[in-house]
Amino acid sequence: MTSAPESAVVPVRFAKVPTSYFTTLVCVFVVGVVVSNIVATKGVLLFPGLEFDLGPLHVNGLVTDGAFWLFPFSYVIGDVISEVYGFKAMRKVVLLGFVIMAAVAGAFWITIALPAASFYPNQAALEAVIGVVPQILLASMAGFVAGELLNSYVLVAMKARTGEGTLWARLLGSTVAGELADTTIFCLIAASAIGISTGSDLLNYIVVGFVWKTLVEAVVMPVTYVTIGFIKKREPSYWGEPV
């Protein structure tokens, strides 16, 4: 008696997943950028009792937005990606972030436009929280693209001159260039949308944002160093042929 023929094994194919480090960095970067753009719609005044004049800058409290504590970390992640994977990889990440920002804004607009049910009383609150003002969206996207690409370009260009040494100079130098461009572009476009109406408050907004973001980079630099070193040691292709 012969047994039934065994069923043929059908080959199952899958694409190879890239290293988990790059995927994780991209996810954290994009989520941070998207959340920052949502919370940035809130104008914030820190230290309202702080008042002094410094040349053309009149400080009456520190004027910033709700993303002041979160957004700087996108530059830290951008530095790690640029240092380990290069400008081309970071350019793709920035493009991905840009597309997702636009998609999120579109999803918000569609959700707000949908007719609210009679038992839903929170339409106005929903619009206040996720109603993306076109002016702020334009400011965010323009500042994001210009700042992140400049940050990455400067870091990689400096690395081409210095090699693996003077990482601290690359991190600070690229951050100064990128954050200055990002902060200036965003503030100039978005200021009136969040209630900034005077030249002094605008200058305050730009200076405080730029100085704060640069300080965050400097403070967390030891963590950035450790993260970059950790990933470099575990990326098989990093120590291969120079790209």
How remote is the C-alpha of 136 from its chain's centroid? 15
Q: Which of 1-10, 68-77, 89-98 comes out lowest in average pLDDT?
A: 1-10
Q: CATH assignment of 20-111+123-234?
A: 1.10.1760
Other C-beta atoms lying within 10 Å of the C-beta of residue 107: 12
What local confidence, expressed as pLDDT, does residue 133 receive? 67
The pLDDT assigned to 203 comes to 86
User: In the predicted model, what is the mean pLDDT of residues 196-218?
Assistant: 84
Fill in the amino acid letter for 168: W
pLDDT digits (tens, 9 = 90+) for 4-47: 556 677 888 777 766 789 999 999 999 999 898 888 778 788 88
CA distance 33 to 54: 32
- Write down the domain spans for the chain: 20-111+123-234
- pLDDT tens digit sequence for 230-241: 999 988 888 876
**Number of helices (H) and strands (E), helices first, in the chain?**
8, 2
Give the integer Cα–Cα distance in Å for 94 and 148: 7
Six-digit token string for 89: 């990889």
φ and ψ of 44, to 5 deg: -130, 140
Predicted TM-score of the model (pTM): 0.83
pLDDT tens digit string along 98-124? Answer: 999 999 889 989 999 999 999 999 999
- Write down the mean pLDDT value for the chain: 86
pLDDT of residue 243: 60
182 contacts: CB under 8 Å, gap ≥ 6: 143, 144, 146, 147, 148, 151
Q: How far apart are CA 206 and CA 191, in angstroms?
A: 10
